[in-house]
């Protein structure tokens, strides 16, 4: 197989690299004192990407994208993730928009899509509940039709970006008397609707990324139901199958390995052999992960739906990032506690602590192994 980019893809890669070098706001890669400051930078970056139609890159041109191929999306994601550019992973682009395009009314398309593609609105995803994560269809949040409205009651949890999202993409139970997969519906909910309460959850890395969201008699117009009532489970599944905005995002792992290699070169001769070997192993694994991403993009480009392949890449990438985080901190060892190495080590502390969530978010590794074993390998269920 020839992994070289064609001239058009190579030119696009160059465009993205130039944008990262000179098109981003000053100080975008510095630490920010407050969430407001960080969000201002992210929204600025989103607007800059949108002005090039790169924010919703794979979307058709009529909806504000460029109709990019999966391979172009991969090229874009690799560059952005390698350089750690924020504001790129966007749930509105990843799964809300594709479902609205397929099942939304003309009014919904006009209202939601252009504001996602031009970087005006950020969406969060309201699926998980305290009693429904891996078994997502067990969700209990109710949406009850009342005249021209739906009234929502219940609780969601682990809602990433819920505290600065403009809109929430909600799955809720509309029929409690049918098998659990058949009674769910999907809605667009403005996050400042009366009755929505957002409470922060601080993760083990000490950052505020996700939240608990409470719904108390939240009244939304029935026109915010997206798709047919009680078909929500299929919208959730189709949204995930269409998701291609994160392929290649794991190239942040490649960057960490490259940075650690540079760190090792700085301290010639002062590194335990096992750490050198571990870095060599990570380097190989990063190349394997990259090949997986190219395979996924190539399958998507041929109109195939690489569900099993995407699960494999997610599982492999998530576990690899944890292993790289452990190696990084072992590399700094006690030295990581003292200046000047400490400031460099701090970044890797965050890398490791944040990587713990990688094997949980978007489906746990245990569940993904089960799916690969049953649907991928055809093994019987337990």
Ligand X SMILES: Cc1cc2nc3c(=O)[nH]c(=O)nc-3n(C[C@H](O)[C@H](O)[C@H](O)COP(=O)(O)OP(=O)(O)OC[C@H]3O[C@@H](n4cnc5c(N)ncnc54)[C@H](O)[C@@H]3O)c2cc1C
User: Which positions are catalytic?
Assistant: 243
Closest distance of CB 367 from ligand X, Å = 5
- How far, CA to CA in Å, does 161 sit from each of 27, 93, 164, 212, 317? 22, 14, 6, 11, 22
Provide the CA 126 distance to its chain's centre, in angstroms.
Answer: 14
Interacting residues with ligand X (CB under 6 A): 124-125, 127-128, 133-134, 158-160, 210, 357, 360-361, 363-364, 366-367, 370
Stated length of the chain: 382
Q: Give the separation between CA 185 and CA 232, rounded to whole angstroms.
A: 4
DSSP characters over 159-174: -TTTTT-SEEEEEEES
Closest distance of CB 124 from ligand X, Å = 6
Closest distance of CB 27 from ligand X, Å = 26
- The token pair that represents 253 in the structure block: 């792992």
Question: Would you say the C-alpha torsion 140, 188, 228, 301 has a positive or negative sign?
Answer: negative
Question: Would you say the C-alpha torsion 291, 292, 293, 299 has a positive or negative sign?
Answer: positive
Closest distance of CB 210 from ligand X, Å = 5
Phi and psi torsions of 21, nearest 5°? -70, -40
DSSP, collapsed to helix, strand or coil, labels residue 153 as strand
Contact 64, 50 (CB under 8 A): yes
Closest distance of CB 62 from ligand X, Å = 28
């Amino acid at each position: 197989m020839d992994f070289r980019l064609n001239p058009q893809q190579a030119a696009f890669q160059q465009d993205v690299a130039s944008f990262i070098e000179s098109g981003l706001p000053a100080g975008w890669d510095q630490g920010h004192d407050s969430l407001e400051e960080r969000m201002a930078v992210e929204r600025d970056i989103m607007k800059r990407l949108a002005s090039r139609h790169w924010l919703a890159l794979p979307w058709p041109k009529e909806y504000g994208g460029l109709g990019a191929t999966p391979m172009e999306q991969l090229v874009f994601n690799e560059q952005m993730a390698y350089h750690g550019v924020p504001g790129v992973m966007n749930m509105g682009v990843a799964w809300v928009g594709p479902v609205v395009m397929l099942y939304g009314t003309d009014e919904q398309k006009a209202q939601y899509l252009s504001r996602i593609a031009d970087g005006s609105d950020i969406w969060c995803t309201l699926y998980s509940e305290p009693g429904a994560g891996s078994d997502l269809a067990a969700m209990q949040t109710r949406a009850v039709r009342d005249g021209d409205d739906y009234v929502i009651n219940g609780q969601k949890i682990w809602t990433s970006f819920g505290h600065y999202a403009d809109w929430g993409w909600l799955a809720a139970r509309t029929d409690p008397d049918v098998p659990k997969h058949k009674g769910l519906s999907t809605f667009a909910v403005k996050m400042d609707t009366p009755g929505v309460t957002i409470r922060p959850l601080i993760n083990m890395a000490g950052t505020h990324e996700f939240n608990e969201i409470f719904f108390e008699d939240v009244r939304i117009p029935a026109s915010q139901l997206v798709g047919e009532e009680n078909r929500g489970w299929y919208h959730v599944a189709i949204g995930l199958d269409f998701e291609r905005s994160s392929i290649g995002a794991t190239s942040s792992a490649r960057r960490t390995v490259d940075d650690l290699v540079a760190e090792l070169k700085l301290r010639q001769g002062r590194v335990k052999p096992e750490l050198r070997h571990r870095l060599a192993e990570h380097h190989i694994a990063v190349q394997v992960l990259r090949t997986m991403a190219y395979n996924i993009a190539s399958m998507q480009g041929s109109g195939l739906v690489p569900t099993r392949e995407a699960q494999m890449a997610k599982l492999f990438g998530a576990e690899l990032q944890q292993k790289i985080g452990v190696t990084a901190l072992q590399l700094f060892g006690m030295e990581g506690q003292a200046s000047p190495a400490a400031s460099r080590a701090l970044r890797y502390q965050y890398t490791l602590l944040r990587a713990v969530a990688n094997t949980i978010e978007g489906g746990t590794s245990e569940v993904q192994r089960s799916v690969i074993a049953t649907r991928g390998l055809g093994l019987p269920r337990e």
